[in-house]
Chains A and B, each alone.
Chain A
Amino acid sequence: MRIDSRAAFDAAVQAAKEKVTGRKRQVFVCCGTGCLANGSAAVAEAFAQQIAEKGLDVSLGLFLKRTGCHGFCQRGPLVVVQPEGVLYTRVRPLDVTEILDQTVANGHCVERLVYRDPSTKAPVPKYADIPFYANQTRVAMRNIGKVDPADIEDSLANGAYAGLVRALNDLSPDEVIAEVERAGLRGRGGAGFPTARKWRATAMAKGERKFVICNGDEGDPGAFKDRSILEGDPHSVIEGMVIGAYAVGAHEGFVYVRDEYPLAVVHLGVAIAQAREWGLLGKNILGTGFDFDIKVSRGGGAFVCGESSALMRSLEGKVGEPRAKYVHASERGLYDCPTVLNNVETWSDVSAILARGGDWFARWGTEKSKGTKAFSLVGKVKNTGLIELPMGMTLRRIIFDIGGGILKDRPFKAVQTGGPSGGCLPESCLDLPVDYEQLTAAGSMMGSGGMIVMDDRTCMVDVARYFLRFLVEESCGKCVPCREGLRQMLAIYDRILEGRGRPDDIGRIERLARGMKLGSLCELGKSAPNPVLSTLRYFRDEYVAHIERGECPAGMCRALTRYEIITEKCTGCHLCTRACPTGAIVGKPKQKHAIDQGKCISCGACYDVCRDDAIRFGGRGRPEVAAAAQ
């Protein structure tokens, strides 16, 4: 079916809505990557089979829907029964019969599958009552988990393409840009450049050929929001891109997506084909005479290709290396033509803004950062997953209200935001409202929205080294400060963590970091010192402890840590003996235990399982000092 007018669009939406309301009851099975990995495909298959066998679609009006990521990945596979809105977690195929018999047929809740509040252990059956969801505001992710990404009608019934209809029929390109400006939308890829300003520059740039690009090369460790949007609601991104193309006068678009996101590639391909078929993409969109089409380009997995100029080189078929951006992409981008490049989340926001209005979007947020922002909340936090919140929410609320606090209720130590370009923020920053300016001022950045929570058993020097290792692998190697600087920085960290740090190493790190920040060619190199500088700023004493005293305050650096059993406290429960991977703990059950230091590899497994605080750790001291003492 091809939609060629506004009336035809309204009719199509109406038809789609009727089709959906005809389904009295629905079972949503999350088929996002996280839940699939936990076995949700088999769960969905079991539902489909039983519905067909028992004829439930006829008798109860029950339909199965495979949706995108619900965000609560830690508890997957997730199943939602509608219209009750009951959420079941960790569902196995064997649970399907019970859910169908109890909940769908009789309206009873299967209590053992329901989410339980981690502190009170009270069951919370309703999706909307779970704090993880109740505290969120979803704009970019509005339809994820609600719609079947492989069915355009389902998206249409949920409001997709309404913004596009409005933009193409009611607004001039300038008015579209004005609407985005009113929303105060800034780039969700991390740098936060005002979207409207970028668009206006591209619209005004001279050029017969212009391009619109969606950057789906999300590569930060721990970040997966763009993946979920592309997998769970590709139409929101396609719609945004068509709107952007109309605003700047482009007729060709590309989605650059990582090939490591196979499901995103498939869903995007299906959605593009359906949009074309329905007249929402391609020639003469919605009968307005506007032409725009999208090609999907799969990235080879280089982190640096998420940098816009490298991404464009990669799209051109060249080596994905950045170039200087003194002349902006809005003037000379892809194939040296004016180009708009935005992040997946930004495009999804655009379609919502055009549908609901700029003022609607700008109600959320802080003075300079409007709207909502998606984050991937991971690390040592009780509820990991994908969340979207109004800008300006404090880190404390994000980590403790939505995230449910730290795993095992250990003390909070730091939160890393912004991936390898970001930094680690300590407890003193917990009341910081999260927006672009505040995070940057604190020495971190918004980045692509990764949020990694760390507890007291995390060595901050080691965290910085983790990101350095990542960047050493991912630097393209074109410019000297990034290529050679990262290698040398890593070498300094390696020796500090082995206890061979030199007294002047902190100064050396700081000097090198400054040179890289000021001298590197692209943002990868310029922001590469952020994890280093932020840990130095907030956790300097840990560096000093490693370098001067040869000890790791978190007890995580094996070369520097020695574990001991406090004999008076040991109850002989034998837990540590079972946890020890090398059999280094001696002692019979119900007797005092001890650690055979010759066998101990300082992994800390015993410390983590001990319930009586009977294990302590201390520094070994610098190797040469320790050797001299022996």
Chain B
Amino acid sequence: MRSGSVVEAALRWQQRLSEGGFWAMVTVTVDGRSVKVREQAYVLEACRLAGADVPTLCHHEAVEPYGACRLCMVEVTRPEWGGHTRMVASCLYPVEDGLIVHTATEKVLDVRRVVIDLLLARCPNTPLVRQMARKLGVEETSYEKAAEPTDCILCGLCTRVCDAIGPAAISAVNRGIGREIAPPFKEPPPACIGCLACAEICPTGHIKYQTSDTSRTIWGKTFEMLRCSRCGRAYVTREQAAFFERTRGIPASYMGLCDSCKRKVLADTAAQLCVTR
């Protein structure tokens, strides 16, 4: 079964319900406030529920947690640990009943300041990074500014969302300092469908594209746009329509109308039905 199919999602729900696990809740204490959170959640979700301000750069609900930016570090402990605490990435640490979370200890803030300080050296001109740094009390980086500043923080959201949708057209290449996000061989990626999900999810707007009613260009690849048969506006790329037909079984005819026109047609149909009744 293809991941992401509606049937599989339904089966997953059914299984979770039959295990009785889906609604099972655990209690976690965040900064002294006790919250109930679903058992499958990670600590970050509990922190957000409790209203704690935990900054993140590589986290997004739409994709699997990654743990790369290290801004969401918190200190966790349990009464039986005898005062011992652990520094963990809250986006990846599974919640457990009775867990005690501290989101703003001096240790936590120290790590966040070092991390944002380092990112500020890498991305000295990026508004989002500057703003987060200022919030953590870092006005200027204490390290050497990058010779070639970039807006890419290597959060991996673009590659993860591309993997989740399916094309997996881009990935992180090279190691360490040389790491960057790129299509294979840095050529226009054959697998890219031009859906723009990578650019939309990018927190710093680093991924650039052009789109018009006739064509779209991203990652050096140019796509032909399919137009809505009703209003004529560009709706999806030809590759996108073909991809969803191939992988999700969505008929090409479904892509004939844009979302807005689909709603209008639906409304018209409903209106006619009401009249005839």
A319 partner, pick from B87, B93, B114, B172, beta carbons under 8 A: B172
Q: Is the CB–CB distance between A488 and B177 below 8 Å?
A: no
Q: Which residues of A contact B171 (CB under 8 A)?
A: 319
- Residue B121 is within 8 A (CB to CB) of chain A in the complex: yes
Q: Which residues of B contact A491 (CB under 8 A)?
A: 143-144
Closest residue to A320 on the B side, CB-wise?
A: B175
A515-B176 CB under 8 A given contacts A484-B119, A491-B143: no
A515 partner, pick from B93, B114, B172, B177, beta carbons under 8 A: B114
Total A-B residue contacts, Cβ distance less than 8 Å: 109
- Residue A374 is within 8 A (CB to CB) of chain B in the complex: no
Instruction: Give the contact-size bracket for chain A.
Output: 20 to 34
- Residue B118 is within 8 A (CB to CB) of chain A in the complex: yes
Digitize B91-110: 1 where CB-to-A-CB distance is under 8 Å, 0 elsewhere: 01110000000000001001
Q: Is the CB–CB distance between A518 and B177 below 8 Å?
A: no
Closest residue to A302 on the B side, CB-wise?
A: B175
- Residue B202 is within 8 A (CB to CB) of chain A in the complex: no
- Residue A603 is within 8 A (CB to CB) of chain B in the complex: no
Q: Is the CB–CB distance between B70 and A480 below 8 Å?
A: yes
- Residue A475 is within 8 A (CB to CB) of chain B in the complex: yes
- Residue A73 is within 8 A (CB to CB) of chain B in the complex: no
Bound Cα distance from A528 to B67, whole angstroms: 18
- Residue B30 is within 8 A (CB to CB) of chain A in the complex: no
Q: Is the CB–CB distance between A521 and B70 below 8 Å?
A: yes
Q: Is the CB–CB distance between B67 and A485 below 8 Å?
A: no
A484-B122 CB under 8 A given contacts A477-B174, A515-B114: yes
A480-B176 CB under 8 A given contacts A491-B143, A518-B110, A521-B67: no
Q: Is the CB–CB distance between B114 and A483 below 8 Å?
A: no
Q: Is the CB–CB distance between B154 and A519 below 8 Å?
A: no
- Residue B132 is within 8 A (CB to CB) of chain A in the complex: no
Q: Is the CB–CB distance between A475 and B110 below 8 Å?
A: no
Q: Is the CB–CB distance between B118 and A484 below 8 Å?
A: yes
B176 partner, pick from A475, A508, A519, beta carbons under 8 A: A475
Q: Is the CB–CB distance between B111 and A515 below 8 Å?
A: yes
B115 partner, pick from A473, A508, A519, beta carbons under 8 A: A519
Chain A positions 507-565 with a Cβ under 8 Å from a chain B Cβ: 508, 511-512, 514-516, 518-521
Q: Is the CB–CB distance between A485 and B68 below 8 Å?
A: no
B interface residues, Cβ below 8 angstroms from A: 67-70, 73, 87-89, 92-94, 107, 110-111, 113-115, 118-119, 121-122, 142-144, 153-154, 156, 171-172, 174-179
List 10 tightest A-B contacts by C-beta distance, closest first. A515-B114, A477-B179, A484-B118, A324-B92, A488-B143, A519-B111, A475-B176, A477-B176, A519-B70, A491-B144
A-B contact pairs, 28 of them (CB 8 A): A319-B172, A324-B89, A324-B93, A326-B94, A327-B94, A472-B176, A473-B175, A474-B176, A476-B176, A477-B174, A477-B176, A478-B154, A478-B172, A478-B179, A479-B70, A484-B118, A484-B122, A485-B114, A488-B144, A491-B143, A511-B110, A514-B110, A515-B111, A515-B118, A516-B114, A519-B70, A519-B111, A519-B114
A interface residues, Cβ below 8 angstroms from B: 302, 304, 319, 323-324, 326-327, 472-481, 483-488, 491, 508, 511-512, 514-516, 518-521
